[in-house]
Amino acid sequence: MTVELHELEITAVTRETADCASFELWVPPELREAYRYRAGQHLTFELPWEGHEVTRCYSLSSCPDLDEPLKIAVKRVEGGRVSNWMNDNLAVGDKIRASVPEGRFVLDPETRHGAPLFLFAGGSGITPIISLLKSALATTKRTITLVYANQRPDSVIYADEVDRLVGEHSERLVVHHHYDSASGYLSRDELRSHLHDTDIGEFYICGPAAFIELVEDALDEAGVHEELVYVERFVSPADPDQVERGLVDVQSFESPPKFSLWLDGRSRSVPYVRGKTLLECAQAASLNPGHSCESGYCGSCMAHVRTGRVYMRTHEALSERDIARGVALLCQSIPASSEPLELDADSTSFRTASAVKSSYGRRVSQLAAAAVFAFMVAGTLVLRLVH
């Protein structure tokens, strides 16, 4: 991992549920600027584990727009090493190595006063979602729907905080709790019943893989454009001693001499150096597409393959659906043929603010054009009636 790491001190530990604890982190004054973050971002923690370093991401559940200390919540994963270790061992006064905030699961400031916001959280998926929720309440006038699925009422992380927010913002915040213990797993029908404004809303999903898939399916069925759907997947990276490289002889692949990368609204031509990843080549060309873990699990470096083919060494951060629609991780991709290769790192599937802005702007223009057209048709009819 090449991201910047610093030691942060644990200043509070709260048991949120039987299998989840939250940790507040103290950032020394000289690092405050580096740890400024956007709601929905995460920190990557590095811990020594049986002779090597392991890394795990945890989303910030605190809100940067309120006077809140940095906070994460870690839910035990059965058989999981770091999540159980943190729950069992981390105490006030301990120091832990953490990256600066990263991630693209964030609100687009350009749509802050517009689109209704739909948030879907399954279990510990509430961590970035509650940060987005608090930020949208603090900085926008958007209406917000939160669908929050849990096994049982006593496994709801941040239950009191969610209740308090509903009490304070009942005019524009609606929360639908779902408990598996009461009615089985969440269904598409139930999800559909909570949807409206599917043409202009923005949809954020975080939770277990099956939960994400269900919500994505329901949104697909409701006709929500994929550009308006934002997903955060909670996965662990492979351990450094288990990363399997070289199973495929990448040196034997044909590759184009250069590739095109859409970034910040412009197409850039990037020389390709055989054996290097597309991210490495972009960096060598002084470009800086979003990235964080460089190991295929955070999803910060996603780009759409427009033409050509790539081979990904690993792709934990992507679902089969992502791969089927041409999403690739720049940090794991190398060209897999000599065909011209074009990628789009601005694509809204990866939610860069500028891209979402243009997509939202496009929709607003389409709606405005439709309204003008309807007005003209109505005007013509009125004129005909008058004459």
Where on the chain is the footprint of ligand FES (CB under 6 A)?
291-294, 296-301, 317, 329, 331
Q: Edge to edge, what strands does the sheet with 342-344 contain?
A: 266-271, 258-263, 342-344, 302-307, 327-329
Tally of CB atoms within 10 A around 135:
20
Q: How far is the CB of 351 from ligand FES (least distance, A)?
A: 14
Q: From the list ligand FES, ligand FAD, none, pick the one residue 42 interacts with, judged by a Cβ distance below 5 to 8 Å according to partner type.
A: ligand FAD
Give CA–CA dist 52/45, Å, rounded: 14
Q: From the list ligand FES, ligand FAD, none, pick the one residue 77 interacts with, judged by a Cβ distance below 5 to 8 Å according to partner type.
A: ligand FAD
Contact call for residues 214 and 190 (beta carbons, < 8 A): no
Helix (H, G, I), strand (E, B) or coil at 191: helix
Give 62 or 333: the residue with its C-beta nearer to ligand FES.
333
Q: How far is the CB of 347 from ligand FES (least distance, A)?
A: 15
Q: From the list ligand FES, ligand FAD, none, pick the one residue 78 interacts with, judged by a Cβ distance below 5 to 8 Å according to partner type.
A: ligand FAD
Q: How far is the CB of 97 from ligand FES (least distance, A)?
A: 18
Binding site for ligand FAD (CB under 6 A): 42, 56-59, 72-75, 77-84, 103, 124, 127, 232, 234-236, 297-298
- The region, left, alpha or beta by phi > 0 then psi within -120 to 50, assigned to residue 301 is alpha
Q: From the list ligand FES, ligand FAD, none, pick the one residue 73 interacts with, judged by a Cβ distance below 5 to 8 Å according to partner type.
A: ligand FAD
Q: From the list ligand FES, ligand FAD, none, pick the one residue 142 interacts with, judged by a Cβ distance below 5 to 8 Å according to partner type.
A: none
Q: How far is the CB of 38 from ligand FAD (least distance, A)?
A: 13
Q: From the list ligand FAD, ligand FES, none, pick the one residue 354 interacts with, judged by a Cβ distance below 5 to 8 Å according to partner type.
A: none
Give 80 or 256: the residue with its C-beta nearer to ligand FAD.
80
Give 203 or 272: the residue with its C-beta nearer to ligand FAD.
203
Give CA–CA dist 301/333, Å, rounded: 10
DSSP state of 338: S
Give 132 or 293: the residue with its C-beta nearer to ligand FES.
293
Give 17 or 255: the residue with its C-beta nearer to ligand FAD.
17
- The region, left, alpha or beta by phi > 0 then psi within -120 to 50, assigned to residue 123 is left
Give CA–CA dist 228/161, Å, rounded: 27
Q: From the list ligand FAD, ligand FES, none, pick the one residue 291 interacts with, judged by a Cβ distance below 5 to 8 Å according to partner type.
A: ligand FES
Helix (H, G, I), strand (E, B) or coil at 296: coil
Q: How far is the CB of 117 from ligand FAD (least distance, A)?
A: 19
Give 273 or 323: the residue with its C-beta nearer to ligand FAD.
323
Tokens of 154: 């006593």
Q: How far is the CB of 339 from ligand FES (least distance, A)?
A: 23
Alpha helices in the chain (DSSP H): 82-89, 126-139, 159-168, 180-183, 188-192, 209-221, 278-284, 320-324, 353-386
- Residue 247, Cα to own-chain centre: how many angstroms? 30
Give 57 or 205: the residue with its C-beta nearer to ligand FES.
57
Strands 42-49 and 95-99: antiparallel
What residue type is 13 in one-letter code? V
Q: How far is the CB of 45 from ligand FAD (least distance, A)?
A: 8
Give 279 or 298: the residue with its C-beta nearer to ligand FAD.
298
List beta partners, residue 204.
119, 230
Give 190 or 316: the residue with its C-beta nearer to ligand FES.
316
Q: From the list ligand FES, ligand FAD, none, pick the one residue 255 interacts with, judged by a Cβ distance below 5 to 8 Å according to partner type.
A: none
Q: How far is the CB of 318 from ligand FES (least distance, A)?
A: 9
Q: How far is the CB of 111 from ligand FES (least distance, A)?
A: 25
**Kind plus residue range of the DSSP H or E element containing 120:** strand 117-122
Tokens of 72: 């994460």
What residue type is 386 in one-letter code? V
Q: From the list ligand FES, ligand FAD, none, pick the one residue 82 interacts with, judged by a Cβ distance below 5 to 8 Å according to partner type.
A: ligand FAD
Three-state secondary structure string covering 295-310 = CCCCCCCEEEEEECCE
